[in-house]
Amino acid sequence: MADGEINGKFFITSDTHVSHKNLIYYSNRPYEPTEEGLKQMNEDLLKPFDELPRGSTILNLGDICMNDNVSFQELKTYIDRMRENDKHLWLVLGNHDRDTMPYHSGHNYDNPIDFFTALGFEKVFEYPFIYEGKYIFSHEPVYLRPGTNFYNVHGHTHQFPVDANYFNRDCENWAMMEVVKKYMLTKQKNLDIDTSVKSSYGKLVDPLDYIDVCWDYNHKILSFEEIAKKC
């Protein structure tokens, strides 16, 4: 990707999960799982977009919303607000973004790229991509051999940064699943998730090679300059 394609200042975020009430149960978002709490959460997610400079490019690393929890028109209203003042929205598809389209069967789009383009994203990436020959932008963390010259700027893990054993666990977003399991057990429900470490995998990583841009980890939208300083 040519650097000249970036218009204005460059900002990155991920995993907004607008209108996703259940996320409140297993994230660190300070809201009540009520309609009023959800309304406040969405406003707190959208307000930082309002405050970004006119003409900014904003890359979202996936999971805009959660499946059928938000209608196409409601989601478009949120995206339109993110785009105000000539902002440019880019998206790397997350796992929930790929699952969202089937719930909007009233809109005839053949694939999620067309679906999110119709919502207002100027660029929609189906896979991770490399920026400036140094940064790998992805939704889910990608495996980097220790000593690599790359940095992985990622989403997906919410408030839990990648640790050395991230790729050795059965459950990809293991830490969040531990929180979910604990919550479900308190509700006397059975959740059969194995989050144990399988050392036989042996795929250790250097956590310093990973930069979590998730909303739940940062509670703000990061500028590219802030990200570069972490490397």
Sequence-distant (6+) residues with CB within 8 A of 156 are: 14, 15, 61, 62, 63, 94, 95, 139, 140, 141, 172, 173, 214
pLDDT for the residue 23: 84
202-224 mean pLDDT: 95
Query: Does the pLDDT at position 231 exceed 80?
Result: yes
The torsion defined by the Cα of 45, 21, 227 and 90, in degrees rounded to 10, comes to -70
**CB atoms near residue 71 (< 10 Å):** 14
pLDDT for the residue 177: 63
Give the position of tokens 């790229």: 113
For 168-201, the pLDDT digits (tens) are: 876 656 666 666 666 555 544 554 555 566 655 6
What size, in residues, is the chain? Answer: 231
Least confident range of 115-124, 200-209, 216-225: 200-209
- What pTM was estimated for this model as a whole? 0.87
CA distance 201 to 205: 12
Query: For the chain, what is the mean pLDDT?
Result: 84
pLDDT for the residue 95: 87
What angle (nearest 5°) sits at the alpha carbon of residue 15, between those of residues 163 and 174? 35
For 93-118, the pLDDT digits (tens) are: 998 888 765 555 556 677 888 889 99
pLDDT for the residue 2: 41
pLDDT for the residue 46: 97
Query: Does the pLDDT at position 227 exceed 70?
Result: yes
Q: Classify each residue of 132-147 as buried b or exposed e, where b means 16 or more C-beta atoms within 10 Å of its C-beta.
A: eeebbbbbbbbebeee
Query: Does the pLDDT at position 68 exceed 70?
Result: no
5-21 mean pLDDT: 86
For 138-170, the pLDDT digits (tens) are: 999 999 999 999 999 999 999 988 999 888 876
Residue pair 89/55 in contact by the 8 Å Cβ criterion: no
For 22-62, the pLDDT digits (tens) are: 888 878 889 998 999 999 999 999 999 999 999 999 999 99
CA distance 83 to 54: 9
